[in-house]
Structure 1
Amino acid sequence: ARSAPAPERPAPADRPAPPEGERPGGWAQQVHQLARQQPVASAPPQAAKAAESPAPWKPPKDDPFLRAAQDQGRPAPLGRRLAARIVDSAVLGAVVGAVAVPLWGRAADHIDAKIEQAKQSGETVTVYLLDGTTGSYLGIVLGVLLVAGLVYEALPHAKWGRTLGKKLCGVRVLDIESHDTPSFAAALRRWLTYGVLGVLAVGVLGVLWCLFDRPWRQCWHDKAARTFVASNSR
């Protein structure tokens, strides 16, 4: 005996039956599913991964901070350096001259007195220009030069990287590695090297060395302190 088919349940009153083309498993629903799955299936894994990863960051073409760093770390033109050195030398010369000129007069009078005394003795006497008196005068002048250079050169270089002449000419002294103001030890070593070479009459050669040095245009005192003179646009 054949059993009778079960009667179909009527659809709820609040859910109308879907149309023929949109029933589950109908051709319209299958087409929509295939359309959604086709781009994902056809895209290669590398392209999908690239689409998901964020775009790399690119710096702006005109970076003001980079431009300021480049301007700060660029060797200064030789003309501006020469002008700054002339101003600084004039200031130091005025300070040292205020002490050296009176002492020079005293030393000249002392030497003249020695020569006159030798003439009056009637004997052949060797008169030395450098003795205890004139040597003490020379020591005072050199001490004033070193102290004035310490106050005017070393301290401002260690604190601001520039002196009055360098500020007027738009240049400053920087450490060759950090591109920052040098330490007090480096600034003092720079000034002592410059002062000692100047006293020994070879300072001109040490200063002219920047004409041939590359790439930092260093003089001998810059090489001793590991510094260089840079342009300063601020």
Structure 2
Amino acid sequence: MADSGKRILARIIDWLIVAIPLLIIGIPFGIYDRVASGDGFDEWVASSSTGGQWVFQLISIIAYVGYDTLMVRSSGQTLGKKLMNMRVAMLNDGSTPDTGSSLTRAVVLWLPQLICCPCLWPLILLILILVDKPYKQGLHDKAAKTVVVSTAP
């Protein structure tokens, strides 16, 4: 099984790979207007129902879920996992996950974090990975029947 610390680092790398372009894409959608205006948090939440905010939220979900699904489906590795010498494998036979398993894994991994629980969801997944024996599976791995294994010699 892959080292938990390397899994965390790989996830941070993958998050940055998607987040940095999204930060730039968010400018035309006005997602930073409320922050720059100095309005309080309550005002920002109340006004975040604008069309541009919802479109940007949808773009973000597609970007994170799409990135993870396509990368895991093609080689079992996101760029972060590749840099950390790990890959996602099917629990039953070690093969590269198919499209359905890759999509299930990505949806369970990213959707709660992007819609409702940006701080809590990653913490829940991390705790489950740390306490799960013997496979170190988070909910996303359990849902897709996958494990993360080391590729280092």
TM-score grouping bracket, smaller chain normalisation: 0.7 to 0.9
Which of 91, 94, 101 is residue 176 of structure 1 equivalent to? Answer: 91
Aligned to 1:158: 73
Equivalent position of 1:104 in the other structure = 31
- SS at 1:84 equivalent: helix
Matching residue of 2:132: 213
Question: How far, CA to CA, are the matches of 2:45 and 2:67 in structure 1?
Answer: 32
Distance 1:157 1:128, change over 3 A: closer
The change in CA–CA distance for 1:159 and 1:185 in structure 2 (over 3 A counts) is: same
Q: How many residue pairs end up in the alignment?
A: 145
Following the alignment from structure 2 to structure 1, what is the Cα–Cα distance between the partners of residues 4 and 78?
17
* Structure-1-length-normalised TM-score: 0.55
The one-letter amino acid of 1:170's match is N
- Superposition pairs of residues 1-234 of structure 1, within 5 angstroms: 75-102=1-28, 103-107=30-34, 129-130=45-46, 134-199=49-114, 200-201=116-117, 202-203=120-121, 204-233=123-152
CA RMSD of aligned residues (A): 2.4
Distance 1:169 1:108 in 2: 35
> Matched residues in 2 for 1:209 and 1:76: separation?
14
Closer, same or farther: CA 85–227 of 1 in aligned 2, 3 Å:
same
SS at match of 2:95: coil
By how many angstroms is 1:156 displaced?
A: 1.1
Secondary structure of the residue aligned to 1:104 is coil
Gaps of 5+ in 1: 1-74, 113-126
User: Counterpart amino acid of 1:96?
Assistant: L
Q: Which protein, 1 or 2, shows the higher relative CO under an 8 Å CA cutoff with sep ≥ 6? A: 2
2:59 and 2:76 map into 1 onto residues whose CA distance is 23
The higher radius of gyration belongs to 1
Contact 2:61/2:111 (CA < 8 Å) preserved in 1? no
Quote how far apart the aligned CAs of 1:161 are.
0.2
Shift in Å at residue 82 of structure 1?
1.2
State the AA in 1 paired with 2:23: G
Q: Is the 8 A contact 1:166 1:172 kept in 2?
A: yes
> Matches of 2:6 and 2:89 in 1, distance apart?
16
For structure 2, which runs of at least 5 residues remain unmatched after alignment? Answer: none
Contact 2:87 2:148 (8 Å CA) reproduced? yes
Give me the identity figure in percent.
Answer: 26
1:105–1:86 Cα change, 3 Å: closer
Contact kept, 8 Å, 1:107 with 1:134, in 2: the verdict is: no
Q: Distance in 2 between matches of 1:128 and 1:88?
A: 28
